[in-house]
Amino acid sequence: MENISPEILGIIIRHLQQATSQPEEELLSAWLGGSLQNKAGFEEVARVWKLSPPVSETFEPNAEAAWQKVKQKTILSSQSDKGNGAKVVRLPTYIWKVAASVLLVVGFGYLVNKSVQKDVSWHTIATAGEKKMVKLPDSSEVWLNKNSNLSYTDFEGDKREVKLEGEAFFDIKRKPKQPFSIKGRESVTEVLGTSFNLRSPENGHDVVEVVTGLVAFSSIKNPDARLQLRPGQKGEIEKDGRVMETAIANKNFRSWESDRLVFDNSGLKEVTESLENHFGIDVDLDNSALANCRFTGSFEKPDLKEVLEILKLSVNLKVEQNGNQIILKGTGCP
């Protein structure tokens, strides 16, 4: 097979697998018509290919198995040993060449098999100033927040993979034989079937908050930093790559998706954090004593001006706004 280049050898093997494209078939036909030596080389590869083990997706090249198959095809030997009149058969030189060819084709066939497998296709959904619900190929549902990107495959293999930049709430269909994983900027979240909120912001650290089921949350920077989180638990990637586990303190972490804010005797600090997350603004308390103030109220499809006006009247506040920064002022609460 000295006259066969690696490119032509790959095309021949794909031809034997019935996996060639039309341009490859035309190239192979032209090569075969180029010389009798080329045609002989093709026939040698085809013959060796029939001797080699079938190649599957999980196949690992096995030189010993290939060689044993060559011997079975080419050597006849007696069942008795040499002392009892066994016939000794010496291997002709061409057999060694065939054996070498088999090993080459088996190994090369494995690589070609990988190369002709269908490439994984990624689909990307991007949101700008609006939220969007995305239904994945397995019927799982994802609510994508504003200014976020979600990429996903067709889920045709043994796992379901997606990538997230921004924020999304996931409601994943349970498929134990096909685990679901999400790669964020800093983290990997693995689930079977569950619901949770995941934030992977450009500025900040990845955070997951679990609503139902069980979630494995790990750091890309430090894969050994891995947590199993249950409903009501929160995981966050820290600056050094470690993963911190806490209880979900802010009950409004899903307000962006539900479009609802609910406060039940909540401290003003929790209120301001909820407003920051929901509206994408900065809210500061001018006086630390304001953190002791409590507020109860609920808002359907909340409007920022309306919420601030009610807060101002309920807690006796003054509100100053400068662009996306809001400062709450007041005497505070004992």
334: in domain: no
Indicate the burial class of 254 (C-beta count within 10 angstroms; 0-12, 13-18, 19 or more).
buried
The model's pTM:
0.60
Question: 290 and 264, same structural domain?
Answer: yes
Sign of the four-CA dihedral 40, 46, 51, 52: positive
Question: 221 and 128, same structural domain?
Answer: yes
Q: According to DSSP H, which parts of the chain are helical?
A: 6-16, 22-32, 36-51, 63-74, 93-116, 255-258, 268-279, 304-315
Last residue of a domain, one of 223, 247, 271: 247
Question: 285 and 215, same structural domain?
Answer: no
CATH number reported for the structural domain that contains residue 311 in this entry:
3.55.50.30
81: in domain: yes
CA nearest neighbour of 278 among 260, 305, 265 = 260
Residue-number span of the structural domain to which 85 is assigned: 6-116
49: in domain: yes
Is 112:14 a contact under the CB 8 Å cutoff?
yes
pLDDT, one tens digit for every residue, the chain (334 residues) = 556 776 788 788 888 877 777 767 877 887 888 788 888 888 888 887 776 655 444 444 444 454 455 445 444 443 444 444 444 444 444 444 444 454 455 555 554 444 444 456 889 999 988 899 999 999 999 999 999 999 999 898 888 999 999 999 999 999 988 999 999 999 999 997 899 999 999 888 999 999 999 999 999 988 888 899 999 999 999 988 889 999 998 889 989 888 899 998 988 999 999 998 888 889 999 888 888 889 999 999 999 999 999 988 888 889 988 888 899 998 878 7
Question: 185 and 93, same structural domain?
Answer: no
Q: Report the relative pairing of strands 325-329 and 294-300 from DSSP bridges.
A: unpaired
Give CA–CA dist 182/148, Å, rounded.
Answer: 14
188: in domain: yes
Give CA–CA dist 201/75, Å, rounded.
Answer: 66
Angle at the Cα of 214 from the Cα atoms of 209 and 217, rounded to 5 degrees: 60
The tally of CA atoms less than 13 A away on the side-chain side of residue 267 is 12
